[in-house]
């Protein structure tokens, strides 16, 4: 594939390395230094774009790729308030977009088991649940998209919680969740790639379900694999659709 990279931070650079290892070619790199000068014509020679930019830039990049009829993988999070709008535009324009909060194979297995665990514990009301996420201090959004996906998986499979709320450690704003609210606690610690923990606590015991990323490489490789999966398709997809654990 001929790939356009939208965003060229640490993730973008890793994606470039894995794309080249898998026989692909990066034909254009777009970041804050040249984004304003990029036109639709600049994307015509590419087969697909991969976006790991910023929440605001991601929305602009999505529109640009739709106009250029260029399939797009979006690993940027923080723009999901516009998800329905983007989905509608994508389908109406017969475009191709795959998005996800995390492209790691391990995390997607985690998502699957998280739903099973929530369903298994649901009858036992003595357990309260919360989510904790830890990331590097450079991460722009909180909670992480991965933590939101985890929370949504719990909410879909439990009767006790109706919505999630976020507490950011060090923000100075104390968040005390109501009994029917699922707390996502966000911590930002130097160069932590990403740690997510689901905690079920009762008076007699605690269950911890945890995923720890050792580096960003799993995310980058997964994004390239997602691009390979998306090529040739039309529609609006979530990364979890790449993983069919029921077969």
pLDDT tens string 33-49: 998 999 999 999 999 99
d(CA 48, CA 51): 10
Helix, strand, or coil here: 65? helix
| Between 102 and 53, residue with greater pLDDT | 53
Quick check: 240 pLDDT over 60?
A: yes
pLDDT per residue as tens digits for the range 55-67 = 889 999 999 999 9
Contact, 89 vs 66, CB < 8 A? yes
Confidence of residue 228 (pLDDT cuts 50, 70, 90): very high
How confident is the model at residue 120, as a pLDDT? 98
Is 82 a residue of the active site? no
Give residue 102's pLDDT: 86
Residue 86 CB contacts under 8 Å (≥ 6 apart), including other chains: 59, 62, 79, 97, 236
From the list 51, 55, 88, 90, the residue with the least C-alpha distance to 73 is 51
**Do residues 17 and 220 touch, judged by C-beta distance below 8 A?**
yes
Q: What is the pLDDT of residue 245?
A: 61
pTM of the model: 0.78
Q: How confident is the prediction for the chain on average, in pLDDT?
A: 93
| pLDDT score of 247 more than 60 | no
- Average pLDDT value for residue range 25-38: 94
Check 24, 135, 161, 196 and give the catalytic one.
Answer: 135
Written as six digits, the tokens of 196 are: 């997510």
Token pair in block for residue 159: 């009767």
Top pLDDT among 30 and 101 is at 30
User: pLDDT category, 126, cuts 50, 70, 90?
Assistant: very high
Question: Cα 202–207–213 angle (5° rounding)?
Answer: 145
Share of the chain above pLDDT 70, in %: 98
State the sign of the Cα–Cα–Cα–Cα dihedral 103, 108, 109, 111. positive
Contact 109, 85 (CB under 8 A): no
pLDDT at 216: 85
Digit-coded pLDDT (tens) for 146-198: 999 999 999 999 999 999 999 999 878 889 999 999 999 999 998 888 999 99
> Is it the case that residue 16 has pLDDT exceeding 90?
yes
pLDDT of residue 206: 98
Q: Is position 161 annotated as part of the catalytic site? A: no
**How far apart (Å, rounded) are the C-alpha atoms in residues 139 and 150?**
18
Q: Are 188 and 139 in contact (CB under 8 A)?
A: yes
Residue 138: is its pLDDT beyond 90?
no
The angle, 0 to 180 degrees and rounded to 10, between the axes of the packed helices 145-155 and 105-121 is: 30
Catalytic residue among 21, 119, 139, 233: 139
Average pLDDT of the residues in 77-105: 94
pLDDT of residue 246: 60
């Amino acid at each position: 594939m001929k790939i356009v990279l939208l965003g060229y931070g640490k993730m973008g650079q890793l994606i470039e390395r894995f794309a080249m290892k898998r026989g692909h070619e990066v034909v254009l790199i777009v970041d804050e230094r040249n984004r304003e000068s990029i036109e639709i014509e600049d994307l015509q020679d590419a087969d697909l774009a991969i976006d790991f930019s910023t929440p605001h830039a991601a929305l602009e990049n999505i529109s640009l790729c739709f106009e250029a009829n260029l399939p797009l993988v979006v690993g940027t999070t923080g723009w999901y308030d516009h998800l329905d709008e983007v989905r509608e535009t994508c389908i109406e324009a017969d475009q191709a977009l795959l998005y996800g909060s995390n492209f790691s194979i391990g995390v997607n297995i985690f998502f699957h088991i998280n739903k099973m665990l929530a369903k298994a514990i649901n009858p036992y009301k003595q357990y309260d649940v919360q989510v904790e996420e830890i990331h590097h201090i450079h991460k722009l959004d909180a909670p992480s998209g991965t933590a939101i996906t985890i929370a949504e998986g719990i909410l879909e499979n439990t009767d006790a919680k109706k919505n999630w709320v976020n507490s950011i450690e060090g923000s100075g704003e104390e968040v005390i969740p109501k009994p029917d609210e699922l707390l996502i606690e966000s911590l930002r610690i130097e160069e932590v790639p990403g740690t997510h923990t689901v905690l079920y606590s009762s008076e007699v015991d605690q269950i911890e379900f945890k995923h720890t990323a050792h580096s960003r490489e799993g995310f980058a490789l997964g994004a390239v694999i997602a691009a390979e999966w998306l090529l040739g398709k039309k529609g609006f997809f979530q990364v979890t659709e790449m993983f069919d654990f029921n077969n």
